[in-house]
């Protein structure tokens, strides 16, 4: 987590929590801040479940993108994204959440994973690897549905 993420968001800017648990260098979590910052969206980056939890506790999150593969902390190996989903679901006003999961090996696994994510309050589930255009389209739909197709970037 970088210092810029620990500063509080400006009150009139939408805040987007981004987590990514993959290994690709140029991924959606790296690309989105460059695209969204100029149009009034603060991107809060978390590389672990602990970092995401800390950000959720100190900042208002309007939209969350949670990669199920993020580790609990920098020393952990196993995925802990579901822990963050449960935390978001328990909030008084949970943000719309995009769940990013590894591509399932079987149809049964895909169905089970989708059901689980939806039970945890996901707005949508995307199978990795994620291309930037589909992610931008999902974020556009969220802003349209949850924020009346407008966000003030004062």
Its pTM stands at 0.84
Q: What is the pLDDT of residue 153?
A: 46
pLDDT < 50 stretches in the chain: 1-9, 153-154
Q: What Cα–Cα distance (Å) separates residue 74 from each residue in 38, 46, 124, 139, 147?
A: 30, 11, 27, 28, 34
Q: What is the pLDDT of residue 13?
A: 84
**Cα–Cα distance for residue pair 139/134, rounded to 1 Å:** 9
Q: What is the pLDDT of residue 5?
A: 37
**Cα–Cα distance for residue pair 57/124, rounded to 1 Å:** 23
What's the CATH number of domain 10-146, 3.60.21.10, 3.40.50.800, 3.40.50.2300, 3.30.1360.40?
Answer: 3.40.50.2300
Q: What is the pLDDT of residue 6?
A: 37
């Amino acid at each position: 987590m970088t210092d810029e993420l620990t500063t509080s968001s400006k009150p009139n800017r939408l805040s987007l929590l981004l987590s990514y648990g993959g290994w690709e260098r140029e991924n959606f979590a790296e690309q989105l801040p460059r695209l969204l910052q100029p149009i009034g969206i603060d991107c809060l980056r978390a590389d672990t479940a602990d970092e995401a939890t800390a950000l959720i506790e100190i900042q208002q999150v309007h939209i969350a993108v949670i990669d199920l593969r993020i580790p609990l902390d920098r020393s952990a190996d196993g995925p802990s994204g579901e822990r963050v989903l449960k935390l978001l679901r328990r909030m008084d006003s949970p943000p719309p959440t995009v769940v990013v999961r590894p591509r399932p090996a079987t149809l049964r696994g895909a169905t089970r994973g989708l059901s689980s994510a939806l039970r945890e309050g996901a707005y949508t589930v995307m199978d990795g690897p994620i291309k930037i255009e589909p992610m931008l389209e999902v974020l556009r739909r969220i802003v349209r549905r949850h924020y009346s197709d407008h966000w003030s970037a004062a």
